[in-house]
Amino acid sequence: MEVEKVEKWEMYMEIHQLLKQGFSKTKIAEKLDISRTTVYRYLKRNPETMSKWVKKTKVRKKKLDPYKDKILSWLFEHPDMSAAQVLDWLQENYPSLEVAESTVRLYVRELRKEYDIPKEATAREYEAVPEVPLGKQMQVDFGETEQLTPDRNKVKLRFIAFVLANSRQKYKEWLDRPFTTRDVIRAHENAFRYYGGISDELVYDQDALILVSENGGDLILTREFQAYKEERKLIIHMCRKADPESKGKIENVVKYVKQNFAKHRVYHGLDAWNETGWKWLERTGNYKIHNTIKKRPVEVFALEKQHLRPISSPIENYYCFDSNYETSITRSVRKDNTIWYQSNRYSVPIGTFNKLKQVYIETTDDGYLLIKETKKGVIIAKHSIVSGKGELIQDSNHKRDRTKGIDTYIETVISNFSDRYKAKVFLDRIKNERPRYIRDQLQMILKQIKQNDERILDMALEECVDRQLFSATEFIDMVQYLNRQGEVTVTEKLKKNNDIKPIRPWNESVLQTDIYKRDIKEYVSVLEGDL
């Protein structure tokens, strides 16, 4: 609390000093990264009232105090984490939290100072570039990152990013393998449908997936991309080497995706990664106020969209494309016969994984997820969409039918008893009382069947049914008891009938020989050394 008290006084003195130096209240707020309201509040107080106010408010909790431990854990683990990324992670993990970016920035700065968590920063110089007219230009570039999986393995991911030069509206797609030209074309189709049109020109870096050679200004494109360019009537510009400013906006986007979205994020699979990426675009990428235009990209995009060239009929039949952003999108089927959607797993019928590599999904207005084999095919699964994370939404009809296997197993065990009716009564009772453990129970009983005589097994079964003992453990106990009783009975009978005979005739005299026993005095003498 003393640290907070000192900081308030430091802020008070700094505001008054800047005011004396001729700074306006607005400039003071910008320089100190605080609101103008805060500046006015400090200027209204003289030293005496300031002192009283500090004493009165020093115990007041801050809005982000409940999240302090979480924020500190992020900063300690990732010291280079920006306040903007902290805000995004807070919004992702606590959707109901409403907090201004300036509040988060100030709070993070205070935590860094209090806990001595310096931030490594690298400066880069930029040259001012005139704003591009609405609908004029779209910039495209590639990026890659290295992410950790939950088991701490590293995986390399690639992405293609698009940005409308005027509004800064962004679009991106990720792959867990290198892009092909066909992937690039598919991503373009998805981006154009996402934007609702095509800009007058597209600006690229000199990527081998698109460009074969500059040829002195006469661009030679790859065969596939050249065909696509002609199909869509695209106007293409390639940046000259060592000229990043000509596509500075998309470079900023690539950096932003790496630093704000991908950095420190754990990879749980490509579908989940892309799904989280769409949410990030809506929540942060296209919603956060842009530093240059001082507006939200999504708001400016509403105007720029009107200046885009409408796209013609889809060409996905020609190129076999799939949309990755519309209500009808593809998903990979996992080995456990589930798909990822909005960070949750939804079941599909057993065998879908072996039959299909991908399925089509569609959302309805009433909150259902429809899963189809083909885009216009029959529905193979329907689930209510849940709002949580990491949940398994499973249709009971999609589970493996284990009943048939268990019933066959039971019949196998029954066949080893003489009284099959009584055996069925016994095993059915176990199945009803211990349905989760019926397979284990059958295994235990079958083991006893392999190790014991049929007569003992029948007797044990009869005793268990008569005594209402319905479990494999009690059956085993009964078998062991009957075996012990049998041993006692046989031994006593043999003794009684004097049936013990020597194996060979000469052994008979040995059996009749009395053992010589020494007197105790002889042992005492030996021990005392008399002998």
**pLDDT at res. 21:** 84
pLDDT band, residue 353 (cuts 50/70/90): confident
Q: What is the average pLDDT across 378-404? A: 78
Q: Please, which pLDDT band fits residue 224 given cuts at 50, 70 and 90?
A: confident
pLDDT at 125: 47
DSSP letter for each residue of 140-207: EEEEEEEEE-TTS-EEEEEEEEEEETTT--EEEEEESS---HHHHHHHHHHHHHHHTSB-SEEEE---
The reported pLDDT for the residue numbered 280 is 92
Structure confidence at residue 59 (pLDDT): 54
Select the more confidently predicted residue: 352 or 520: 352
- The larger pLDDT score, comparing residue 217 to residue 457, is at 457
Average pLDDT over residues 354-376: 80
Mean pLDDT along residues 349-369:
79
> Listing from the earlier edge strand, what are the strands of the sheet with 379-384?
328-332, 358-363, 368-372, 379-384
pLDDT of residue 450: 86
- The token pair at 481 is 């008891």
Task: Say if residue 504's pLDDT is above 80.
Answer: no
Tell me which CATH code domain 2-57 carries.
1.10.10
Mean pLDDT of 290-319: 81
User: What is the rounded CA–CA span in Å between residue 194 and residue 138?
Assistant: 13
**What mean pLDDT value characterizes the chain?**
80
The shares of helix, strand and coil residues in the chain, as percent rounded to the nearest 5, are 50, 15, 35
Q: How confident is the model at residue 3 (pLDDT cuts 50, 70, 90)?
A: very low
- What pLDDT is stored for residue 237 in this prediction? 87
> What confidence tens digit (pLDDT) does each residue in 107-120 have?
888 888 888 888 76
Pick from 7, 436, 438: nearest CA to 426: 438
Alpha carbon distance 161, 154 (integer Å)? 22
Confidence of residue 324 (pLDDT cuts 50, 70, 90): very low
Bridge partners for 220 per DSSP: 213
State mean pLDDT over 281-291: 89
Which range, 7-11, 107-111, 205-209, is most confident?
A: 107-111
Please check whether residue 467 is in contact with residue 461, taking contact to mean a CB–CB distance below 8 angstroms.
no
Higher-confidence residue of 343 and 511: namely 343
In angstroms, what CA-CA distances link 43 with 40, 49, 151, 259? 5, 11, 54, 38
Average pLDDT value for residue range 239-266? 80
Per-domain residue ranges of the chain? 2-57, 65-114, 137-310, 327-398, 403-496
The pLDDT value recorded for residue 363 is 82
- The Cα–Cα gap between 76 and 496 comes to 85
pLDDT band for 400, please (50, 70, 90 cuts).
low
**Which is higher by pLDDT, 126 or 481?**
481
First and final C-alpha spacing in the chain: 95
pLDDT grade for 174, boundaries at 50, 70 and 90: very high
Q: What is the mean pLDDT of residues 144-158?
A: 92
pLDDT at residue 81, rounded to an integer? 86
Mean pLDDT of 35-49: 84
Lowest average pLDDT, out of 148-152, 184-188, 402-406, 515-519, goes to 515-519
pLDDT, mean of residues 464-480: 90
CA distance 330 to 372: 9
Tell me, what's the pLDDT at 171? Answer: 95
CATH topology of domain 137-310: Nucleotidyltransferase; domain 5 (3.30.420)
What percent of the chain is modeled with pLDDT above 90?
21
